[in-house]
Chain A
Amino acid sequence: AQTVTQSQPEMSVQEAETVTLSCTYDTSESDYYLFWYKQPPSRQMILVIRQEAYKQQNATENRFSVNFQKAAKSFSLKISDSQLGDAAMYFCAYRTSWNFGNEKLTFGTGTRLTIIP
């Protein structure tokens, strides 16, 4: 079974600075998908970014980018120019690439990010 580990329960960053959240995973599969979801105080889960394992290029979405190291099974999230609205719980998630019936996500335990004004 796949596992996802987020070793940083809490992180903080000064507003406008850059922060990196860590995520490692364990799998025997060669093809899969990785996600970062954000859960702000409203508790609405929001997709931040996704990465296909077969793509070598790291995904980027505006101020959010990932550092995907397949051999090391590492998938970190970098937030540039941190804003107060980035304060949230961030969850890393894994999904197998198999077809229908295998779409479920395996979540890490989360990292709570605090933005310091």
Chain B
Amino acid sequence: GAVVSQHPSRVICKSGTSVKIECRSLDFQATTMFWYRQFPKQSLMLMATSNEGSKATYEQGVEKDKFLINHASLTLSTLTVTSAHPEDSSFYICSALAPGTSGGAGTDTQYFGPGTRLTVL
């Protein structure tokens, strides 16, 4: 199956610093990637949709200047948490949209990375 990696898996940083998280599709090209945030014992909350070569589309309530997304190639999307604060501590998960084998919209499937645990002190 399609493989998506995330780096780093864990990061601890001081308040006020910026942190970059990478999401890579290893065996397929992904024009679309997604970034989620997951709080303990809760569901995934979509933060933004990242399209290669264009600006990301953010969900309502997500600060664009706080969470910078760059999708510079068909296999890499990055999420930068700028001026991180303790309330940004969370589990961040990316996913990449793999094209379906039979073609056509809807046959493609989201495959998820293993997640990144961010702790801001």
B42 and A45 contacting across the interface, CB-CB below 8 Å: no
Bin chain A's interface residue count: 20 to 34
- Taking the nearest CB of chain B, how far is it from the CB of A4, in angstroms? 9
Pair A43/B91 contact, Cβ less than 8 Å: yes
With beta carbons under 8 angstroms apart, the residue of B1, B32, B114 that contacts A103 is B32
Which listed residue (B34, B42, B106, B115) contacts A109, Cβ 8 A?
A: B42
By the criterion CB–CB under 8 Å, are A43 and B114 in contact?
yes
Whose C-beta in chain A lies nearest to the C-beta of B117? Answer: A43
The CA of A104 and the CA of B32, in the complex, are separated in Å by 10
The answer to whether A33 touches B106, judged by C-beta atoms less than 8 angstroms apart, is: yes
Residue-wise, chain B 78-114 has the 8 Å CB interface mask toward A (1 for contact) of 0000000000000101010100000001101111111
Q: What would 8 A/B residue contacts be, using CB atoms closer than 8 Å?
A: A33-B106, A37-B112, A43-B115, A44-B112, A104-B49, A105-B46, A105-B110, A109-B42
Which positions in A face B, CB cutoff 8 Å?
33, 37, 42-47, 50, 52, 91, 95, 97-100, 103-105, 107-110
B interface, CB within 8 angstroms of A: 1, 32, 34, 38, 42-44, 46, 49, 91, 93, 95, 97, 105-106, 108-115
